Amino acid sequence: MADKKHNTDRRRLIAGLGTLAAANALPGQLTAQTGNETDILIIGGGIAGSSTAFHLAEQGRDVLLLERGEIASEASGQNMGGLGGSGWGNNPNLLSYLTAGSVEIFKRMQIDLGYDMEFRLSGTLTAIHTDEQYEYYQDDVAAQRNNGYQIELLSSREARAIEPESNGSLPGYMYRPERGQADPVKSTQAFAHAAQVAGATINTGHNVVSMSPLSAGGYSVQTESAEFRCQSLVLATGAWCGPIGEMLGLKIPIVPIRGQMWATESLPARVLHTIGSTVSSYAWSKDNGADEVTPPNLTHKNGRRMTRHLYGRQRMNGEIIFGGDRESLGYDKTPNRSGIEVNRQHAAEVIPLVASLPIARTWAGLMPFSLDGSPIIGKIPVRDNLFIVSGLASSGFGRGPMAGKLAADYIHSSNMNPVLGESDPARCVTET
Sites of contact with ligand FAD (CB under 6 A): 43-49, 66-69, 73-76, 78-82, 207-208, 236-240, 244, 259-261, 311, 323, 365, 367-368, 390, 392-398, 400
Shortest separation between residue 189's beta carbon and ligand FAD, angstroms: 12
Shortest separation between residue 55's beta carbon and ligand FAD, angstroms: 14
Closest CB to ligand FAD among 43 and 197?
43
Shortest separation between residue 367's beta carbon and ligand FAD, angstroms: 5
Closest CB to ligand FAD among 115 and 228?
228
Helices 2-15, 184-197: inter-axial angle, 10-degree rounding:
150
Closest CB to ligand FAD among 166 and 188?
188
Phi, psi angles (nearest 5°) of residue 25: -70, 140
Report the distance separating Cα 74 and Cα 84, nearest Å: 20
User: Residue 161: CA atoms inside 13 Å, Cβ hemisphere, count?
Assistant: 7
Contact, 234 vs 52, CB < 8 A? Answer: yes
Of 23, 65, 32, the C-alpha closest to 48 is 65
Contact, 324 vs 311, CB < 8 A? Answer: yes
Shortest separation between residue 274's beta carbon and ligand FAD, angstroms: 8
Closest CB to ligand FAD among 171 and 296?
296
DSSP string for residues in 182-228: --HHHHHHHHHHHHHHTT-EEEES--EEEEEE-TTSSEEEEESS-EE
Of 226, 281, 244, 232, the C-alpha closest to 84 is 281
Shortest separation between residue 288's beta carbon and ligand FAD, angstroms: 18
Of 365, 272, 269, the C-alpha closest to 312 is 272
Closest CB to ligand FAD among 17 and 389?
389
Shortest separation between residue 416's beta carbon and ligand FAD, angstroms: 20
Report the distance separating Cα 77 and Cα 406, nearest Å: 22
Report the distance separating Cα 85 and Cα 79, nearest Å: 17
Closest CB to ligand FAD among 10 and 350?
350
Report the distance separating Cα 339 and Cα 113, nearest Å: 40
Shortest separation between residue 69's beta carbon and ligand FAD, angstroms: 5
Closest CB to ligand FAD among 17 and 388?
388
Shortest separation between residue 277's beta carbon and ligand FAD, angstroms: 14
381, with CB counted inside 10 A (0-12, 13-18, 19+), is exposed
Closest CB to ligand FAD among 301 and 315?
315
Closest CB to ligand FAD among 76 and 122?
76
Closest CB to ligand FAD among 233 and 244?
244
296, with CB counted inside 10 A (0-12, 13-18, 19+), is middle
Report the distance separating Cα 229 and Cα 152, nearest Å: 51
Report the distance separating Cα 352 and Cα 262, nearest Å: 16
Shortest separation between residue 184's beta carbon and ligand FAD, angstroms: 7
Shortest separation between residue 211's beta carbon and ligand FAD, angstroms: 9
Report the distance separating Cα 109 and Cα 401, nearest Å: 10
Length of the chain: 432
Closest CB to ligand FAD among 56 and 156?
56
Strands 208-213 and 361-370 come out as unpaired
Q: What is the largest CA-CA distance in the chain?
A: 69
Shortest separation between residue 396's beta carbon and ligand FAD, angstroms: 2
**What pairs with residue 223 in β-bridges?**
208
